[in-house]
Structure 1
């Protein structure tokens, strides 16, 4: 492997910083500690940025580095968004990455994320021939797995914590577009529920689904697209009643469900779009092959052609904000 400083990289031409959204103070036998803070890293162009920033929410056992780089060391989607003129806020969801996790304080941990699960999710054997953009060798699979840790065992509580912290992040940064991936998808819907006036649009990349799905060893999307309760109209006394009801926070909300051509998630994406539109959103599927971008699986944000997969998303965000008068 060539030393990164010799191989080159992205020239730093941004403004950047970091901060935390604090968690609650709780008493323990060891003293007063903080529960589930949220780490935030931000970058912006050196000059003026678009008035509405992006908040990038990673999936499953990953962390914010899912957006900042690729397994082979190239710049990730976060850099490409900044180059397109956006300020971006990249979070480490509660209990992931630089957001500290102690099971006695946050919640019990789920199982560790194994190589077998990573291969099944990001490089399933049945899709190998079609998934031509996964060109990485074993050493890159190691790089993929290094940042992946366990999820909290209580999926609903994990989503609730994330959405509460992200709501307070939006209190700081103002109105933003949420860009989510995989198991970060439910967090996007719940953040909109917590701060509907602060979420301009949602680009959900390969979001968790289909509605009401069960995931052995992980949890269930009890409320349709979320495990944690989401506000329905009329109110749902039982989670099953959420099916077919409006979700006021999503009313008129622009949503793009982004899918790869070789991903199993593309098969159920229309059901997610239908659920969202029934709930009141203005949702559509952005299927990459429709843009001439083929061979992508679930990890399309960091596959070999990630510089191409991000372009339809950038175009959709710019068009969406332009339509509502959100850009200059």
Structure 2
């Protein structure tokens, strides 16, 4: 007899407040009618008593959606719940054109390619690195893989326009809620610097989890990081009109004043191929006057992780050093 799926049967009762709202997009004309371009869905949750000074905004990775922060593929509580349990108000966004933030090509432009099973295996699954032991389901578990891939959609084909919209909407979110901490994952990593560049007085800290990079990289099926740590321009001093100026510059020749006083903790995993992008990213930011540090989880005794460290089997352990760092900010 088939066993029915009832995830609520054994889930603990939670005393938590939650809700959602939208950061609207611009009104645009399409086909002679008025439409909205690129709204951003925001879901929030908070403990009965918020004990931490600043809320945390969680931004998901490329092609995925906010659900990556809520629950793990094997059904355990994700980072959003754990942060709320630690006393934080938590806001989780669906970046424009992802998840519950609607996508239409007439307002957002062409889509990139669909996300493939092969891409999912290459990015997340254990490969030849025997250290990667924490992936939450077996490679031959087809049902689990189907459920995992179901949450992915295409990215906008124009990476620069997508990052610009992400940063603009998140800046509008901070205008509404006030100062906050940004936690990004993978492709949303550049959004951390871009939002701080727009609202330096409202970004209290940034914790990028294996951010997309390294500077000036061309990311397959996604786009080019033309402006160093991002695909879209940042406000360098002295001003930069052509990204080629940055490629040719000596370290320290250009600065990012908006990041000068923003704590940045870049988190990497020992068995992730994407971890190699983080030290060059930190070096670029620091040469521009930032104070970015790289935390390799293995150096803190957290082993076995790949790029999906936020929802692997030991996700509570991967969060622990981040929680410790966040607590030191208050």
State the TM bucket, normalised to the shorter chain: over 0.9
Q: Which residue does 1:306 correspond to in 2?
A: 315
In 2, Cα distance between equivalents of 1:2 and 1:280 = 55
2:135 counterpart of 1:131? no
2:179 counterpart of 1:187? no
2:239 counterpart of 1:230? no
Does the 8 Å CA contact 1:64/1:90 hold for their aligned counterparts? yes
1:27 and 1:10, CA in 2 relative to 1: closer, same or farther beyond 3 A? Answer: farther
Q: Which residue does 2:158 correspond to in 1?
A: 154
Cα deviation 1:278-324 (Å, max 9, x = unaligned): 111111111101111001000000111101111111111111x23xx
How far apart are 1:145 and its partner, in Å? 0.9
Determine which of 199, 209, 218 is the counterpart of 1:214: 218
Q: What TM-score results when the alignment is normalised by the length of structure 2? A: 0.94
1:4 and 1:276, CA in 2 relative to 1: closer, same or farther beyond 3 A? Answer: farther
Does the 8 Å CA contact 2:68/2:311 hold for their aligned counterparts? yes
How far apart are 1:7 and its partner, in Å? 4.5
In 2, Cα distance between equivalents of 1:202 and 1:99 = 23
Q: What TM-score results when the alignment is normalised by the length of structure 1? A: 0.94
Determine which of 14, 18, 21 is the counterpart of 1:16: 18
RMSD (Å), alpha carbons: 1.4
3-state SS of paired residue (2:201) = helix
Cα deviation 1:68-120 (Å, max 9, x = unaligned): 11111111100000011100000000000000000111111000000001111
Does the 8 Å CA contact 2:212/2:277 hold for their aligned counterparts? no
How far apart are 1:124 and its partner, in Å? 5.0
1:6 and 1:207, CA in 2 relative to 1: closer, same or farther beyond 3 A? Answer: closer
In 1, Cα distance between equivalents of 2:172 and 2:291 = 25
Q: Which residue does 2:47 correspond to in 1?
A: 45
In 1, Cα distance between equivalents of 2:200 and 2:192 = 11
Deviates more, 1:243-252 or 1:173-182: 243-252
Deviates more, 1:244-253 or 1:62-71: 244-253
Determine which of 141, 144, 151 is the counterpart of 2:145: 141
How far apart are 1:5 and its partner, in Å? 3.9
Aligned residues: 320
Cα deviation 1:214-253 (Å, max 9, x = unaligned): 1232111111110011110101121132354211111121
Q: Which residue does 2:269 correspond to in 1?
A: 260
Does the 8 Å CA contact 1:9/1:75 hold for their aligned counterparts? no
> Where in structure 2 are the equivalents of 1:284-295 lying within 5 Å?
284-295=293-304
Gaps of 5+ in 1: 323-328
3-state SS of paired residue (2:108) = coil
Gaps of 5+ in 2: none
Does the 8 Å CA contact 2:126/2:133 hold for their aligned counterparts? no
In 1, Cα distance between equivalents of 2:76 and 2:136 = 14
Does the 8 Å CA contact 1:232/1:242 hold for their aligned counterparts? no
